[in-house]
């Protein structure tokens, strides 16, 4: 039998977080877990010093409870108009290409922020201050869109606290703003949150075989696809993330098969509102080194210097992206396949 996604045995907690109502609710959900007080949710030596091979256990067994200190809103213009302050950081899943910063340690288990009321109030103030959206853009034709889950997966967070329920409820009250998050999760609780069309969920998909290799601890592609119509019936706007597109021999046939499967599965109501993001793989040198310790087979597909080139990130890290010129051709080929098999699926963003 597969291990459960979460089996929380230790909670690192900031005392200020444990004193808040949301923090107390989280602790009550895991009464048997060992509690370890820490001065900062970012600086936990036991996580930083873990063995590289022991990558999956902390994701399953460790939770961090903290207070979100800064509450900035960053302009985006790609997946969203603004990146909102996160209500969490880290993830229990272990996708081999994940870009989320591993500042807590190599495995980066979930941190839940207990000061959700401050996050909600800041978001409401920011959205109200924007006023009406002056003109349509690639993000949305009418609403200001806020990405709520840049640093994790809110479908998984919904297994831990009511932060996600509260965020969905907030956007029901903001007539000119919409929440949004990408996910690989299949969490039935989301179906009871009554979003009333004011939250967009972007379901991440890739061909079945690649996902089995790379999306470690994530629900299968079949489960995710089956969940899309359920989310739409529950009142979410549902888009797709074709992400990341990992190039290898046979990739065109695999994606074509996925598009055909989606076309057969999706109801007309979902197709009428469907849009997608397409994001080609960007890999990272530091992540490559971590993966070699726990999942070297994934690196055979992700680390391809023969078709990739180095790009320095804004933070100074060494990333690998598909080579300039060729990347554009491959991306155009991907979009042509999508248009051929799912012509109703508008491409909202491609990179």
Structure tokens at 275: 């849009």
Window from 41-55, 152-166, 249-263, 332-346 with minimum mean pLDDT: 41-55
Window from 97-101, 154-158, 217-221, 331-335 with minimum mean pLDDT: 97-101
Q: Where is 147: in which H helix or E strand?
A: strand 144-147
Average pLDDT rounded to a whole number, residues 146-170: 97
- Asked if pLDDT for residue 315 goes beyond 70, the answer is no
Question: At 27, phi and psi to the nearest 5?
Answer: -60, -35
How crowded is residue 237: how many other Cβ atoms within 10 Å of its Cβ? 22
What is residue 314's predicted lDDT score, i.e. its pLDDT?
66
Considering the four listed CATH numbers 3.40.190.10, 3.80.30.30, 3.40.50.10420, 3.20.20.70, the one that applies to the domain covering 71-86+118-350 is 3.80.30.30
Half-sphere exposure of 123 (CA within 13 A, CB side): 32
Tens digit of each residue's pLDDT (9 = 90 or more) over 169-224: 999 999 999 999 999 999 999 999 999 999 999 999 999 999 999 999 999 999 99
Structure tokens at 214: 């790379």
- For residue 100, the 8-state DSSP code is S
Gap between the Cα atoms of 226 and 54, Å rounded: 32
What is residue 131's predicted lDDT score, i.e. its pLDDT?
94
Gap between the Cα atoms of 171 and 174, Å rounded: 5
How crowded is residue 336: how many other Cβ atoms within 10 Å of its Cβ? 11
Estimate to the nearest angstrom the gap between the alpha carbon of 252 and the chain centroid: 25
What is residue 49's predicted lDDT score, i.e. its pLDDT?
81
Gap between the Cα atoms of 177 and 82, Å rounded: 10
Confidence bin at 349 (pLDDT 50/70/90):
very high
What is residue 48's predicted lDDT score, i.e. its pLDDT?
82
What is residue 307's predicted lDDT score, i.e. its pLDDT?
96
Tens digit of each residue's pLDDT (9 = 90 or more) over 266-304: 999 999 999 999 999 999 888 898 899 999 999 999 999
Domain boundaries, the chain: 71-86+118-350
Tens digit of each residue's pLDDT (9 = 90 or more) over 226-269: 999 999 999 999 999 999 999 999 999 999 999 999 999 999 99
Q: What is the largest CA-CA distance in the chain?
A: 55
- Asked if pLDDT for residue 66 goes beyond 60, the answer is yes
Average pLDDT rounded to a whole number, residues 314-337: 90
Tens digit of each residue's pLDDT (9 = 90 or more) over 90-122: 999 999 999 775 667 778 899 999 999 999 999
Gap between the Cα atoms of 34 and 40, Å rounded: 17
Instruction: For the chain, give the percent of residues with pLDDT over 70.
Output: 98
- N- to C-terminal Cα separation, the chain: 38
Structure tokens at 79: 């997946």
* Closest C-alpha among 191, 212, 208 to residue 2: 212
Q: Under DSSP, is residue 238 helix (H, G, I), strand (E, B) or coil? A: strand
Gap between the Cα atoms of 133 and 140, Å rounded: 9
Gap between the Cα atoms of 252 and 116, Å rounded: 43
**Dihedral class, residue 108 (left if φ above 0, else alpha if ψ from -120 to 50, else beta):** left
What is residue 269's predicted lDDT score, i.e. its pLDDT?
98
**The whole model's pTM is what?**
0.95
What is residue 290's predicted lDDT score, i.e. its pLDDT?
87
């Amino acid at each position: 039998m597969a291990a459960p996604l979460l089996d929380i045995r230790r909670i690192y907690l900031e005392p200020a977080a444990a004193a808040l109502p949301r923090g107390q609710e989280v602790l009550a959900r895991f009464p048997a877990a060992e509690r370890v007080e820490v001065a900062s949710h970012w600086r936990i030596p036991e996580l930083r010093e873990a063995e590289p091979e022991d990558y999956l256990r902390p994701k399953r067994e460790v939770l961090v409870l903290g207070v979100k200190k800064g509450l900035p809103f960053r302009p985006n213009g790609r997946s969203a108009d603004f990146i909102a302050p996160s209500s969490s950081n880290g993830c229990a899943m272990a996708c081999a290409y994940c870009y989320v910063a591993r500042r807590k340690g190599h495995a980066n288990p979930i941190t839940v922020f207990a000061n959700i009321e401050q996050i909600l109030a800041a978001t409401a103030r920011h959205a109200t201050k924007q006023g009406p959206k002056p003109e349509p853009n690639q993000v949305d034709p009418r609403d200001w869109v806020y990405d709520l889950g840049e640093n994790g997966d809110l479908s998984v967070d919904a297994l831990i606290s009511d932060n996600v329920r509260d965020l969905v409820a907030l956007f029901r009250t903001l007539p000119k703003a919409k929440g949004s998050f990408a996910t690989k999760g299949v969490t039935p609780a989301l179906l009871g949150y009554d979003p009333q069309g004011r939250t967009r969920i972007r379901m991440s998909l890739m061909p079945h075989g690649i996902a089995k290799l790379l999306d470690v601890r994530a629900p299968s592609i079949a489960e995710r696809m089956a969940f899309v119509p359920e989310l739409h019936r529950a009142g979410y706007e549902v888009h797709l993330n074709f992400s990341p597109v990992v190039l290898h021999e046979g990739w065109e046939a695999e994606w074509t098969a996925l598009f055909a499967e989606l076309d057969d599965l999706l109801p007309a109501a979902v197709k009428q509102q469907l849009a997608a993001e397409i994001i080609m793989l960007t890999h990272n040198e530091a992540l490559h080194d971590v993966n070699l310790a726990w999942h070297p087979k994934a690196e055979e597909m992700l680390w391809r210097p023969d078709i990739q080139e180095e790009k320095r990130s804004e933070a100074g890290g060494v990333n690998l992206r598909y080579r300039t010129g060729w990347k554009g051709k491959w991306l155009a080929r991907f979009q042509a396949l999508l248009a051929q098999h799912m012509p109703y699926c508008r491409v909202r963003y491609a990179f």
